[in-house]
């Protein structure tokens, strides 16, 4: 790579990274430390949250290896390439690994996740760019430096800051679903993402019901303000919702769990004219039979929301940095980078006591 900027810290020639090698295998390897070019940043990763999307890519072998995953990254700038003016070594930052071009058809329509530039990953620790957060250092490419990096205020931990990207994705989904004051919303799944949906929908003034198969998660949801909780392993959730909604069904159901059977169940749980938003259904090969008459004759609407929205970047940062959302309370497990395999296994096979899992990379 090309020249470094002024005042940069020395960086090692090699670093540790969790490298995906296929067949669900991730192991710690020593790899070359990324080198940056003009208008790029090198960031020493402090914390990277584990996202279910990366877990799926690893456990289901969705993309060819080798790759270094991890995209919920927070860390410290250690080098700035020539031409970088907004950031300098020592700045604490969070990174968005996808940033749209701003001028194509999809950007003009504000469907940013479908922009060809957005689909390019702009943060890497080596190999095919894949986020790179499960490593000691990442290279941040120029278009991400320009629009996809936010400074972390003093007093905000890397753990908290790593939530900015996932909060953005949930905020985008809430916007897409059009959550309104007084509506009755069912959130199916109460992992960390489902709990964020609970919190954001309540912020909009909605009455929120939640379901999960773990009573411990449901108890946490109750503490955070859920108006009703349902153990999906013990009750028929669509049936249980009706007495609370005048017999109609919820106005909106949000699917925050990647369970195929929940898709038709969600349509059954909403009233005629209601909405269903798919959030966790990210495997292209998945096929689910749907009661199409519910969409046609009962005029129920099926929506989708994927990834982040650059227009909501500042607001998602504010919600985290000002502690409007109690994100740190959602962290239940912390693993050092050397134990990434254990962290991935737990994320892929959640327990009643597990919510957000973070990897400490520094």
pLDDT in tens, 239-258: 999 999 999 999 999 999 99
The Cα–Cα gap between 346 and 332 comes to: 11
Q: Does 201 have pLDDT greater than 60? A: yes
- Residue ranges and CATH numbers for the domains of the chain are 14-163+325-360 (3.90.180.10), 171-304 (3.40.50.720)
Are 213 and 229 in contact by the 8 Å Cβ rule? The answer is no
Q: Does 303 have pLDDT greater than 60? A: yes
pLDDT at 339: 98
Q: Does 4 have pLDDT greater than 70? A: no
Closest CA to 309 of 140, 146, 176, 124: 176
Are 143 and 122 in contact by the 8 Å Cβ rule? The answer is yes
Burial of 109 (0-12, 13-18, 19+ CB in 10 A): exposed
Give 205's Cβ-side CA count (13 Å radius): 4
pLDDT at 61: 93
Only one residue has tokens 């504000």, namely: 110
**CB-based contacts of 58: which residues, under 8 Å, 6+ apart?**
20, 24, 26, 69, 344, 348
**SS3 label, residue 325:** coil
pLDDT at 285: 87
pLDDT at 8: 65
Kindly report which listed range (2-6, 113-117, 202-206) carries the lowest average pLDDT score: 2-6
Are 303 and 329 in contact by the 8 Å Cβ rule? The answer is no
Average pLDDT of every residue of the chain = 96
pLDDT at 7: 56
Express the helix, strand and coil content of the chain in percent, nearest 5 each.
30, 25, 40
Closest CA to 121 of 173, 69, 47, 44: 69
Q: Does 143 have pLDDT greater than 60? A: yes
Q: Does 1 have pLDDT greater than 60? A: no
**SS3 label, residue 328:** helix
Per residue in 22-77, pLDDT (tens digit) is 999 999 999 999 999 999 999 999 999 999 999 999 999 999 999 999 999 999 99
């Amino acid at each position: 790579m090309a020249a470094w900027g002024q005042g940069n810290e020395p960086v090692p020639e090699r670093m540790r990274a969790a490298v995906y090698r296929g067949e669900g295998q991730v192991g710690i390897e020593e790899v070359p430390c990324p080198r940056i070019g003009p208008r790029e940043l090198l960031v020493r990763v402090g914390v990277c949250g584990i996202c279910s999307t990366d877990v799926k890519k690893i456990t289901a072998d969705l993309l060819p290896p080798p790759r270094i995953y991890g995209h919920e990254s927070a860390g410290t700038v250690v080098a700035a390439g020539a031409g970088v003016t907004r950031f300098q070594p020592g700045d604490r930052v969070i990174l968005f690994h996808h940033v749209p071009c701003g001028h194509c058809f999809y950007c003009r329509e504000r469907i940013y996740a479908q922009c060809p530039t957005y689909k390019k990953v702009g943060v890497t620790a080596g190999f095919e760019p894949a986020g790179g957060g499960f490593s000691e250092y990442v290279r941040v490419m120029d278009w991400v430096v320009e629009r996809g990096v936010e400074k972390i205020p003093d007093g905000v931990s890397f753990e908290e800051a790593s939530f900015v990207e996932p909060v953005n994705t949930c905020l985008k989904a809430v916007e897409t679903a059009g959550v309104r004051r007084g509506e009755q919303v069912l959130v199916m799944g109460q992992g960390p993402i489902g709990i964020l949906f609970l919190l954001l929908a309540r912020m909009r003034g909605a009455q929120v019901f939640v379901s999960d198969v773990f009573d411990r998660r449901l108890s946490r949801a109750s503490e955070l303000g859920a108006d009703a909780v349902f153990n999906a392993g013990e009750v028929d959730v669509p049936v249980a919702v009706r007495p609370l909604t005048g017999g109609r069904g919820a106005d909106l159901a949000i699917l925050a769990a990647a369970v195929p059977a929940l898709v038709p169940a969600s349509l059954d749980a909403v009233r005629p004219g209601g909405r269903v938003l798919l959030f966790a259904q990210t495997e292209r090969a998945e096929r689910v039979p749907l009661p199409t008459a519910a969409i046609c004759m009962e005029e129920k609407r099926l929506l989708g929301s994927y990834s982040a929205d650059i227009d909501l970047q500042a607001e998602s940062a504010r919600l985290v940095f000002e502690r409007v959302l109690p994100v740190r309370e959602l962290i239940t497990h912390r693993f050092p980078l050397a134990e990434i395999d254990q962290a991935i296994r737990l994320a892929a096979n959640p327990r009643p006591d597990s919510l957000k899992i973070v990897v400490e990379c520094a």
